[in-house]
Structures are given as structure tokens and as C-alpha cells.
Amino acid sequence: MTPDERTAIADHPTLLYDGVCALCNGVVRFVLRHDRAGVFRFAALDSDAARELMDGAAATQDGVALVLQPLTAAQRILYRSDAVAEALRLLGWRRRAALLAAVPRPLRESGYGIVARLRYRLFGRYAVCPLPAAEHRKRFVGLR
């Protein structure tokens, strides 16, 4: 990761997503639309930036992961439905996040897993990770 990219994600929750998944790109667009404070940063899961952030952590290719306090000793990585619930909370959608978190984790993860397995068939797949709109590019790290 470049020094500029490190600076860009410092103190920002960073959403790692499957760049070729249409559903995952839809999630990114949703977060961009609702993140009025510009808090979130983004990186495709197959980018060098994501690999560096995950440094030894279990990699996921089935949707999203959320890195909290990136590049610090307190860094934490949330996966799958936990990442979605925390992203909703950080967007200020506390009630929806609490409702999702109230669902027993095995049930939540089972539902997430079904969608993750079927996401390419249901929502489609891009040949390459689409570039974000120019006004949002500064919030993405690891773009090639």
C-alpha cells in the first residue's frame, strides 16, 4: 500500500468487497449514497491493499469484510453478516443494525451464506472490477 493510501484509510472503517460481484458493488454504492460524512473507505478483496489489511487473517471471497481501526494495533476485521450489521450501525441505522444483530448468529450466517453462494447467479458478475465514479475515487484504495 502506498503512503497516500495508508493516509487515506487512517481512522476510517474500510469495507473490503468482491470487486466483480454485482451485489457487492451495489452494497458499496449503497454505502457511498448513505455515508454523508464520508467515513468509509473501500478496497476490492483481491487488491494488494486488502491483502495487506488482512495480513494473515482468514481471507474471504464471499462478499464483504469490514476493517475497523485499520493499520493500528487495535485493528479488527468483521466478516459477513457481522460486517453488514456494523456497517449499518456506522451509517447511523442503529435500529436496523440492532434488528439484524438480534437474529441469532447461526441463522444470520446461514442466510448470508445462501446469498453469498447464489450472488453471481442472482445478481450477475462483472468481467473486471468496475471503477468508481470520479467523485468517489479518493475513498478507494488499491485501484489498479
Residue pLDDT, tens place only, 34-45: 998 999 999 998
Domain boundaries, the chain: 3-125
Q: CA angle at residue 129 from 126 to 130, to 5 degrees?
A: 90
pLDDT tier at 130, thresholds 50, 70, 90: confident
What are the residues whose beta carbons fall under 8 Å from the beta carbon of 75, sequence distance 6 or more? Answer: 53, 67, 68, 69
The whole-model pTM stands at 0.89
Q: What is the pLDDT of residues 56-98, one digit of tens each?
A: 665 666 678 999 999 999 999 999 999 999 999 999 998 988 9
CA 100 to chain centre: 17
User: Do residues 21 and 45 touch, judged by C-beta distance below 8 A?
Assistant: no
Contacts with 10 (C-beta within 8 Å, 6 or more apart), sequence order: 70, 71
Q: What is the pLDDT of residue 58?
A: 58
pLDDT of residue 42: 95
pLDDT of residue 69: 95
- CA dihedral of 89, 101, 23, 9, whole degrees rounded to 10: 40
> Quick one: CA dihedral 121, 127, 132, 134, positive or negative?
negative
